[in-house]
Amino acid sequence: MQVSIACTEHNLKSRNGEDRLLSKQSSNAPNVNAARAKFRTVAIIARSLGTFTPQHHISLKESTAKQTGMKYRNLGKSGLRVSCLGLGTWVTFGGQISDEVAERLMTIAYESGVNLFDTAEVYAAGKAEVILGSIIKKKGWRRSSLVITTKLYWGGKAETERGLSRKHIIEEIVRAMTHVINQGMAMYWGTSRWSAMEIMEAYSVARQFNMIPPVCEQAEYHLFQREKVEVQLPELYHKIGVGAMTWSPLACGIISGKYGNGVPESSRASLKCYQWLKERIVSEEGRKQQNKLKDLSPIAERLGCTLPQLAVAWCLRNEGVSSVLLGSSTPEQLIENLGAIQVLPKMTSHVVNEIDNILRNKPYSKKDYRS
Give Rg (Cα) of the chain.
Answer: 20
Phi, psi of 218 (to 5 degrees): -95, 120
Q: How far is CA 311 from CA 181, 341, 362, in A?
A: 35, 11, 15
Pairing of strands 186-192, 62-64: unpaired
Q: Which of 123, 221, 237, 274 is catalytic?
A: 123
Q: How many CB atoms lie within 10 A of CB 49?
A: 10
123 is catalytic: yes
What residues are labeled active site?
123
